[in-house]
Amino acid sequence: MEARNTEDKVFESVAELFSLLSTPIRLKIISAVCHGEKNVSELLGEIDTTQPNMSQHLSTLYRSGVLSKRREGTQIYYKLQSDRVAALCRAVCTQVAIEMDPDTEIDAKERLMPAGAR
């Protein structure tokens, strides 16, 4: 019973993480701060969204522990707190990009994406 309890907790944690990462803008934010911190203005220059929407997603990523932040004067700088989340995002996004390339042949049972999702 203990192993099943642990397995349930693992699946619940992974589902929570996937839920957190299920929004394209959050993936874009993680990608944008992958190689160093950026302030909100810099992020808005790279990601097409409104300032209130950006702030909402940054807050969600900060509260979840994916991002950290620091204030410098009036600016707030965000950086990646979790390298593991970045590695996971990079691996999945790279694999999906490979699968979306029409010249790539991948056995159907090895795909991450359903065949019709291209």
Which 3-state string (H, E, C) describes the chain? CHHHHHHHHHHHHHHHHHHHCCCHHHHHHHHHCCCCCEEHHHHHHHCCCCHHHHHHHHHHHHHCCCEEEEEECCEEEEEECCHHHHHHHHHHHHHHHHHHCCCCCCCHHHCCCCHHHC
Q: Which domains does the chain have, with CATH numbers?
A: 2-117 (1.10.10.10)
Extract the residue ranges of the chain whose pLDDT is less than 70.
1, 113-118
Q: How do residues 75-86 score in pLDDT, each as one tens digit?
A: 999 999 988 888
Query: Residue 46: what pLDDT?
Result: 96
